[in-house]
Amino acid sequence: MSVVAERRPRLRRRHLNERLSLRRIGAMCLRHGYTIAASWPRMFDVIYWPTVQLLLWGFTTQFFLTHSSWLVNAAGALIAGVLLWDVLFRSQLNVSISFFEEVWSRNLGNLFVSPLSVYDFAAELMLMGAARSLVGMLVAALLAIPLYHYSIFDMGWALVAFFGALLIFGWAIGLAICALIYRWGQGAESMAWGAAFAIAPISGVYYPVATLPAWLQPVAWALPSSYVFEGMRAALIDGSFRADLMAWALLLDLVYLALGAALFFAAFEDARRRGKLLQQGE
Protein backbone atom coordinates (compact mmCIF):
# COMPACT_ATOMS: atom_id res chain seq x y z
CA MET A 1 0.00 0.00 0.00
CA SER A 2 1.34 3.42 -0.86
CA VAL A 3 2.14 6.11 1.64
CA VAL A 4 -0.75 8.13 0.26
CA ALA A 5 -3.25 5.35 0.82
CA GLU A 6 -1.92 4.59 4.26
CA ARG A 7 -2.15 8.17 5.44
CA ARG A 8 -5.37 9.11 3.71
CA PRO A 9 -8.24 9.44 6.20
CA ARG A 10 -11.14 7.20 5.32
CA LEU A 11 -14.23 9.07 4.21
CA ARG A 12 -17.76 7.93 4.67
CA ARG A 13 -19.10 7.19 1.19
CA ARG A 14 -22.70 7.05 2.25
CA HIS A 15 -24.65 10.29 1.75
CA LEU A 16 -21.75 12.16 0.12
CA ASN A 17 -23.58 12.58 -3.16
CA GLU A 18 -26.99 13.09 -1.63
CA ARG A 19 -28.53 16.46 -1.22
CA LEU A 20 -29.42 15.97 2.42
CA SER A 21 -27.11 14.36 4.92
CA LEU A 22 -27.93 13.81 8.59
CA ARG A 23 -24.19 13.73 9.33
CA ARG A 24 -23.59 17.15 7.80
CA ILE A 25 -26.73 18.60 9.38
CA GLY A 26 -25.52 17.20 12.72
CA ALA A 27 -22.11 18.78 12.19
CA MET A 28 -23.72 22.17 11.70
CA CYS A 29 -25.94 21.72 14.77
CA LEU A 30 -22.76 20.91 16.68
CA ARG A 31 -21.19 24.12 15.33
CA HIS A 32 -24.04 26.24 16.70
CA GLY A 33 -24.23 24.20 19.89
CA TYR A 34 -20.57 25.06 20.51
CA THR A 35 -21.30 28.74 19.86
CA ILE A 36 -24.16 28.82 22.35
CA ALA A 37 -22.33 26.79 24.99
CA ALA A 38 -19.28 29.07 24.76
CA SER A 39 -21.23 32.27 25.30
CA TRP A 40 -23.36 32.90 28.38
CA PRO A 41 -25.13 35.88 26.72
CA ARG A 42 -26.28 33.53 23.96
CA MET A 43 -27.46 30.93 26.46
CA PHE A 44 -29.19 33.66 28.41
CA ASP A 45 -30.80 35.06 25.26
CA VAL A 46 -32.49 31.72 24.53
CA ILE A 47 -34.59 32.08 27.69
CA TYR A 48 -34.42 35.82 28.36
CA TRP A 49 -37.04 37.21 26.00
CA PRO A 50 -39.65 34.50 26.48
CA THR A 51 -39.30 35.04 30.22
CA VAL A 52 -39.51 38.83 29.98
CA GLN A 53 -42.59 38.58 27.77
CA LEU A 54 -44.15 36.16 30.17
CA LEU A 55 -43.56 38.43 33.14
CA LEU A 56 -44.90 41.49 31.39
CA TRP A 57 -48.05 39.90 30.04
CA GLY A 58 -48.55 37.59 32.97
CA PHE A 59 -48.91 40.48 35.38
CA THR A 60 -51.06 42.34 32.86
CA THR A 61 -53.32 39.32 32.74
CA GLN A 62 -53.56 39.18 36.50
CA PHE A 63 -54.70 42.77 36.53
CA PHE A 64 -57.37 42.18 33.91
CA LEU A 65 -58.58 39.05 35.62
CA THR A 66 -60.03 41.22 38.32
CA HIS A 67 -61.47 43.76 35.89
CA SER A 68 -62.85 41.85 32.93
CA SER A 69 -65.50 39.15 32.90
CA TRP A 70 -64.33 37.98 29.44
CA LEU A 71 -60.87 37.41 30.72
CA VAL A 72 -62.17 35.61 33.74
CA ASN A 73 -63.69 33.09 31.33
CA ALA A 74 -60.58 33.03 29.20
CA ALA A 75 -58.12 32.78 32.04
CA GLY A 76 -54.71 32.13 30.65
CA ALA A 77 -55.51 33.33 27.12
CA LEU A 78 -53.05 36.19 27.36
CA ILE A 79 -50.32 34.09 28.94
CA ALA A 80 -50.82 31.32 26.38
CA GLY A 81 -50.82 33.98 23.63
CA VAL A 82 -47.54 35.36 24.90
CA LEU A 83 -45.91 31.96 25.08
CA LEU A 84 -47.14 30.81 21.69
CA TRP A 85 -46.38 34.11 20.01
CA ASP A 86 -42.84 33.80 21.21
CA VAL A 87 -42.61 30.38 19.55
CA LEU A 88 -43.29 32.01 16.18
CA PHE A 89 -41.02 34.96 16.83
CA ARG A 90 -38.14 32.87 18.22
CA SER A 91 -38.43 30.29 15.49
CA GLN A 92 -38.09 32.99 12.85
CA LEU A 93 -35.38 34.88 14.70
CA ASN A 94 -33.33 31.80 15.53
CA VAL A 95 -33.24 30.66 11.91
CA SER A 96 -31.97 34.12 10.98
CA ILE A 97 -29.47 34.31 13.87
CA SER A 98 -27.85 30.98 12.98
CA PHE A 99 -27.45 32.28 9.43
CA PHE A 100 -26.09 35.63 10.62
CA GLU A 101 -23.48 33.87 12.72
CA GLU A 102 -22.01 32.37 9.55
CA VAL A 103 -22.09 35.75 7.82
CA TRP A 104 -20.60 37.61 10.79
CA SER A 105 -17.75 35.14 11.07
CA ARG A 106 -17.10 35.16 7.29
CA ASN A 107 -17.60 31.40 7.31
CA LEU A 108 -19.99 31.00 4.37
CA GLY A 109 -17.12 30.55 1.91
CA ASN A 110 -15.62 27.74 3.96
CA LEU A 111 -19.00 26.07 4.43
CA PHE A 112 -19.95 26.06 0.78
CA VAL A 113 -16.65 24.67 -0.45
CA SER A 114 -17.24 21.76 1.93
CA PRO A 115 -19.69 19.00 0.97
CA LEU A 116 -22.42 20.85 2.89
CA SER A 117 -25.32 21.34 0.48
CA VAL A 118 -27.65 24.31 0.64
CA TYR A 119 -30.39 21.82 1.58
CA ASP A 120 -28.34 20.56 4.55
CA PHE A 121 -27.78 24.16 5.55
CA ALA A 122 -31.47 25.08 5.43
CA ALA A 123 -32.39 21.94 7.39
CA GLU A 124 -29.82 22.77 10.06
CA LEU A 125 -31.05 26.36 10.37
CA MET A 126 -34.57 25.09 10.96
CA LEU A 127 -33.48 22.43 13.45
CA MET A 128 -31.46 24.88 15.50
CA GLY A 129 -34.37 27.34 15.34
CA ALA A 130 -36.68 24.65 16.68
CA ALA A 131 -34.29 23.60 19.45
CA ARG A 132 -33.73 27.15 20.69
CA SER A 133 -37.47 27.95 20.53
CA LEU A 134 -38.35 24.80 22.44
CA VAL A 135 -35.89 25.54 25.24
CA GLY A 136 -37.04 29.17 25.51
CA MET A 137 -40.71 28.24 25.61
CA LEU A 138 -40.21 25.41 28.08
CA VAL A 139 -38.43 27.64 30.58
CA ALA A 140 -41.05 30.38 30.32
CA ALA A 141 -43.93 27.91 30.48
CA LEU A 142 -42.52 26.23 33.58
CA LEU A 143 -41.99 29.64 35.16
CA ALA A 144 -45.67 30.49 34.61
CA ILE A 145 -46.78 27.62 36.82
CA PRO A 146 -45.48 28.94 40.16
CA LEU A 147 -45.89 32.62 39.23
CA TYR A 148 -49.44 32.63 37.84
CA HIS A 149 -50.71 29.16 38.70
CA TYR A 150 -51.20 28.67 35.00
CA SER A 151 -49.92 25.68 33.06
CA ILE A 152 -49.98 25.85 29.30
CA PHE A 153 -49.38 22.11 29.35
CA ASP A 154 -53.01 21.68 30.40
CA MET A 155 -53.85 22.15 26.72
CA GLY A 156 -52.45 18.68 26.17
CA TRP A 157 -51.74 17.52 22.64
CA ALA A 158 -53.30 20.67 21.19
CA LEU A 159 -50.25 22.50 22.47
CA VAL A 160 -48.01 20.30 20.34
CA ALA A 161 -50.10 21.14 17.28
CA PHE A 162 -50.03 24.89 18.04
CA PHE A 163 -46.29 24.79 18.68
CA GLY A 164 -45.61 22.89 15.45
CA ALA A 165 -47.76 25.15 13.29
CA LEU A 166 -46.16 28.34 14.64
CA LEU A 167 -42.67 26.85 14.42
CA ILE A 168 -43.13 26.08 10.72
CA PHE A 169 -44.46 29.57 9.99
CA GLY A 170 -41.43 31.01 11.83
CA TRP A 171 -39.12 28.87 9.71
CA ALA A 172 -40.74 30.18 6.54
CA ILE A 173 -40.28 33.82 7.56
CA GLY A 174 -36.74 33.12 8.79
CA LEU A 175 -35.70 31.52 5.50
CA ALA A 176 -37.18 34.44 3.57
CA ILE A 177 -35.16 36.88 5.71
CA CYS A 178 -31.97 34.87 5.06
CA ALA A 179 -32.76 35.23 1.35
CA LEU A 180 -32.87 39.02 1.79
CA ILE A 181 -29.46 38.93 3.50
CA TYR A 182 -28.01 36.89 0.63
CA ARG A 183 -29.40 39.44 -1.80
CA TRP A 184 -28.92 42.76 -0.01
CA GLY A 185 -26.29 41.92 2.58
CA GLN A 186 -26.38 42.91 6.19
CA GLY A 187 -28.36 46.05 5.43
CA ALA A 188 -31.38 43.78 5.55
CA GLU A 189 -30.43 42.46 8.98
CA SER A 190 -32.90 44.60 10.89
CA MET A 191 -35.68 42.73 9.10
CA ALA A 192 -34.87 39.75 11.31
CA TRP A 193 -35.95 41.64 14.41
CA GLY A 194 -38.90 43.44 12.87
CA ALA A 195 -40.53 41.04 10.42
CA ALA A 196 -42.54 38.95 12.84
CA PHE A 197 -43.84 42.01 14.68
CA ALA A 198 -45.39 43.25 11.46
CA ILE A 199 -47.76 40.32 11.44
CA ALA A 200 -48.45 40.25 15.18
CA PRO A 201 -51.30 42.77 15.09
CA ILE A 202 -53.17 40.85 12.40
CA SER A 203 -52.56 37.38 13.79
CA GLY A 204 -55.07 37.80 16.61
CA VAL A 205 -52.55 36.89 19.26
CA TYR A 206 -54.35 38.62 22.14
CA TYR A 207 -57.82 39.23 20.62
CA PRO A 208 -60.10 37.44 18.13
CA VAL A 209 -59.63 38.11 14.41
CA ALA A 210 -63.21 39.42 14.40
CA THR A 211 -61.92 42.41 16.38
CA LEU A 212 -59.99 43.58 13.32
CA PRO A 213 -61.58 45.89 10.72
CA ALA A 214 -63.53 43.91 8.11
CA TRP A 215 -61.12 44.82 5.31
CA LEU A 216 -58.17 43.45 7.30
CA GLN A 217 -59.74 40.15 8.24
CA PRO A 218 -59.05 38.40 4.89
CA VAL A 219 -55.38 39.28 5.35
CA ALA A 220 -55.46 37.75 8.83
CA TRP A 221 -57.06 34.57 7.49
CA ALA A 222 -54.21 34.25 4.99
CA LEU A 223 -51.78 33.72 7.88
CA PRO A 224 -51.39 30.34 9.62
CA SER A 225 -50.80 32.14 12.91
CA SER A 226 -54.37 33.53 12.95
CA TYR A 227 -55.81 30.01 12.83
CA VAL A 228 -53.50 28.88 15.61
CA PHE A 229 -54.48 31.70 17.96
CA GLU A 230 -58.17 31.26 17.20
CA GLY A 231 -57.70 27.56 17.91
CA MET A 232 -55.89 28.40 21.13
CA ARG A 233 -58.80 30.53 22.32
CA ALA A 234 -61.26 27.80 21.38
CA ALA A 235 -59.24 25.35 23.45
CA LEU A 236 -59.03 27.68 26.43
CA ILE A 237 -62.55 29.13 26.40
CA ASP A 238 -64.66 26.31 24.95
CA GLY A 239 -62.37 23.47 25.87
CA SER A 240 -62.56 22.16 22.31
CA PHE A 241 -59.86 21.39 19.77
CA ARG A 242 -60.76 22.92 16.38
CA ALA A 243 -59.26 20.47 13.89
CA ASP A 244 -60.57 22.59 11.01
CA LEU A 245 -58.53 25.58 12.16
CA MET A 246 -55.42 23.44 12.58
CA ALA A 247 -55.88 21.96 9.11
CA TRP A 248 -55.95 25.45 7.62
CA ALA A 249 -52.94 26.48 9.65
CA LEU A 250 -50.89 23.50 8.50
CA LEU A 251 -51.98 23.89 4.88
CA LEU A 252 -50.94 27.55 4.88
CA ASP A 253 -47.73 26.58 6.68
CA LEU A 254 -46.82 24.30 3.81
CA VAL A 255 -47.47 27.07 1.30
CA TYR A 256 -45.39 29.62 3.23
CA LEU A 257 -42.60 27.15 3.94
CA ALA A 258 -42.41 26.26 0.25
CA LEU A 259 -42.23 29.97 -0.60
CA GLY A 260 -39.61 30.69 2.07
CA ALA A 261 -37.47 27.74 1.01
CA ALA A 262 -37.81 28.64 -2.68
CA LEU A 263 -36.67 32.20 -1.90
CA PHE A 264 -33.76 30.88 0.18
CA PHE A 265 -32.54 28.52 -2.55
CA ALA A 266 -33.05 31.10 -5.30
CA ALA A 267 -31.12 33.71 -3.30
CA PHE A 268 -28.29 31.22 -2.76
CA GLU A 269 -28.03 30.62 -6.51
CA ASP A 270 -28.16 34.35 -7.09
CA ALA A 271 -25.31 34.82 -4.56
CA ARG A 272 -23.30 32.23 -6.51
CA ARG A 273 -23.87 34.21 -9.69
CA ARG A 274 -22.96 37.54 -8.13
CA GLY A 275 -19.97 36.30 -6.12
CA LYS A 276 -21.47 37.12 -2.73
CA LEU A 277 -20.58 33.89 -0.94
CA LEU A 278 -16.97 34.94 -0.43
CA GLN A 279 -17.80 38.58 0.25
CA GLN A 280 -20.39 38.30 3.03
CA GLY A 281 -18.86 39.41 6.31
CA GLU A 282 -18.90 41.79 9.18
Partner 1 sequence: MPSPVTPVIAARGLTKRFERIVAVESIEFAVAEGTTVALLGGNGAGKTTTISMVLGLLVPSAGSISVFGTDMMRERQRVLPRMNFSSPYVDLPHRLTVLQNLIVYGHLYGVVDVKARVAELAADLAIADILDRQTGNLSAGQKTRVALAKALLNEPDLLLLDEPTASLDPDTADWVRGYLEEFRRRTGATILLASHNMSEVERLCDDVLMMRQGRIVDTGAPAALIARYGRRNLEEVFLDIARRRDDEAAQ
- For residues 277 and 103, what is the distance between their CA atoms, to the nearest angstrom? 9
What is each CA distance from 197 to 90, 150, 151, 194, 228, in whole angstroms? 11, 25, 25, 5, 16
Which of these ranges, 87-95, 102-110, 189-197, 217-225, lies near partner 1 under the rule CB under 8 A? Answer: 102-110
31 binds partner 1 (CB under 8 A): yes
Q: Total binding residues for partner 1 by CB under 8 A?
A: 46
Which of these ranges, 17-25, 45-53, 73-81, 163-171, lies near partner 1 under the rule CB under 8 A? Answer: 17-25
23-60 burial, b for 16+ CB within 10 Å, e for fewer?
ebbeebbebbeeebeeeeeeeebbbebbbebbbebbee
Among 45, 48, 51, 109, binds partner 1 (CB under 8 A): 109
- For residues 241 and 248, what is the distance between their CA atoms, to the nearest angstrom? 13
- For residues 40 and 77, what is the distance between their CA atoms, to the nearest angstrom? 32
What is each CA distance from 208 to 42, 120, 184, in whole angstroms? 35, 38, 36
28 binds partner 1 (CB under 8 A): yes
Q: Which is nearer to partner 1, 3 or 214 (CB)?
A: 3
Which of these ranges, 16-24, 79-87, 92-100, 241-249, lies near partner 1 under the rule CB under 8 A? Answer: 16-24
Q: Which is nearer to partner 1, 149 or 274 (CB)?
A: 274
Quick note: the x/- pattern for partner 1 over 113-132, rule CB under 8 A, is xxxxx---------------
- For residues 134 and 142, what is the distance between their CA atoms, to the nearest angstrom? 12
Q: Which is nearer to partner 1, 57 or 119 (CB)?
A: 119
104 by Cβ neighbours in 10 Å (0-12 / 13-18 / 19+) ranks as middle
User: What letter represents residue 279's amino acid?
Assistant: Q
Q: Which is nearer to partner 1, 41 or 146 (CB)?
A: 41
Q: Which is nearer to partner 1, 21 or 133 (CB)?
A: 21
Residues listed for the chain: 282
Question: Smallest distance, Å, CB 167 to partner 1?
Answer: 25
7 by Cβ neighbours in 10 Å (0-12 / 13-18 / 19+) ranks as exposed
107 binds partner 1 (CB under 8 A): yes
1 binds partner 1 (CB under 8 A): no
Question: Smallest distance, Å, CB 89 to partner 1?
Answer: 24
DSSP 62: H
Residues that bind partner 1 in the complex, under the rule CB under 8 A: 3-4, 7-12, 15-17, 19, 23-24, 26-28, 30-31, 34-35, 38-39, 101-102, 105-117, 269, 272-275, 277-278, 281
